[in-house]
């Protein structure tokens, strides 16, 4: 039987949301409506990151860390007033970050030795049971990394994943051109082996150098394919939306 370590939810939230222009509040807590319809009425509005936290909770996660940039104080203030029950949420506050990998790595002292499930607070997914499926696959002990994968009609905006017949990830291509449809990874769970891999990968890379400005998390996962076992949990009937873009935010924003 695989060892059952603690599992921690990890949320990168240190971005500046430059694509969205001036916002009255952090995008992670913008009220959005996304989910199944009940009796012809859309699911009620909630802060964007609640969708992720509720997904964590459905996966049996009780502890989560959010890595924040200085100045985004409205997030802990909002979530203190309107918490997701069953999740103990803590914050790591940093001055700046060169990108998602560095943001996640700032949690290294707190997650080293634990299993991790990671989601993006500005990517809404349906069904959120995908997180539970990812954690179950990780707990099975067959893989170091488990990617949550869904279809996309905009491959040039995401990390496209190619998967073998037995569910192993064969290739990850960040934001490829020339495709009309594909599968993309939109969440991940991993064992301590990948936490260590990412930490060492970033250790000797100069933050902010021209070569590293487009270092996506998918690039690190792709590099790990030669050393670690990476598999996918595929939900072809699922859907996701990235509210980090103005057009997609307009589709779900409840106060627009």
216-230 tens-digit pLDDT:
999 999 999 999 999
Is residue 166, in this structure, part of any structural domain at all? yes
Average pLDDT, the chain: 89
Q: How many C-beta neighbours within 10 Å does residue 227 have? A: 11
Q: What angle, 0 to 180 degrees and rounded to 10, lies between the N-to-C axes of helices 129-139 and 48-58?
A: 40
Structural domain tally of the chain?
1
Is residue 93, in this structure, part of any structural domain at all? yes
| 232 neighbors 159 (Cβ within 8 angstroms) | no
- The pTM for the full model equals 0.91
Task: Tell me what the mean pLDDT of segment 27-47 comes to.
Answer: 73
Greater model confidence, 126 or 249: 126
Q: How confident is the model at residue 17 (pLDDT cuts 50, 70, 90)?
A: low
Task: State the pLDDT at residue 253.
Answer: 73
Q: The dihedral of CA 154, 164, 56, 68: what is its sign?
A: negative
Bridge partners of residue 69, in order along the sequence: 94
Is residue 167, in this structure, part of any structural domain at all? yes
Task: State the pLDDT at residue 175.
Answer: 87
Task: Tell me what the mean pLDDT of segment 145-167 comes to.
Answer: 94
Is residue 1, in this structure, part of any structural domain at all? no
71, 89, 13, 94 alpha-carbon torsion, rounded to 10°: 50
Q: Which domain holds residue 49?
A: 7-252
Is residue 15, in this structure, part of any structural domain at all? yes
Q: Is the pLDDT of residue 210 over 80?
A: no
Q: How many C-beta neighbours within 10 Å does residue 36 have? A: 8
| CATH number of the domain residue 162 falls in | 3.90.550.10
Is residue 2, in this structure, part of any structural domain at all? no
């Amino acid at each position: 039987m695989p060892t059952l370590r603690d599992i921690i939810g990890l949320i990168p939230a240190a971005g500046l949301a430059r694509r969205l222009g001036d916002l009255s509040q952090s995008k992670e807590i913008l009220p959005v409506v996304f989910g199944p319809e009940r009796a012809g009425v859309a699911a009620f509005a909630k802060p964007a990151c609640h969708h992720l936290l509720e997904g964590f909770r459905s996966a049996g996660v009780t502890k989560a860390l959010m890595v924040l940039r200085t100045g985004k104080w409205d997030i802990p203030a909002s979530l203190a007033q309107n918490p997701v029950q069953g999740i103990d949420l803590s914050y790591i506050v940093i001055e700046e970050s060169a990108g998602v990998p560095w943001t996640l790595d700032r949690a290294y002292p707190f997650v080293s030795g634990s299993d991790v499930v990671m989601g993006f607070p500005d990517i809404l997914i349906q069904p959120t049971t995908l997180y539970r499926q990812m954690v179950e696959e990780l707990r099975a002990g067959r893989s170091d990394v488990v990617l949550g994968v869904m279809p996309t009609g905009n491959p040039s905006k995401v990390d496209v994943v190619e998967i073998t017949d037995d569910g192993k990830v064969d290739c990850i291509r960040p934001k490829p051109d020339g495709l009309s449809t594909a599968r993309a990874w939109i969440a991940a769970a991993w064992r301590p082996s990948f936490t260590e891999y990412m930490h060492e990968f970033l250790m000797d890379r100069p933050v902010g150098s021209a070569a590293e400005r487009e270092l996506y998390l998918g690039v690190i996962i792709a590099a790990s394919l030669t050393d670690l076992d990476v598999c996918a949990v595929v939900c072809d009937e699922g859907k996701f939306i990235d509210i980090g873009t103005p057009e997609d935010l307009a589709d779900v924003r409840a106060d627009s």
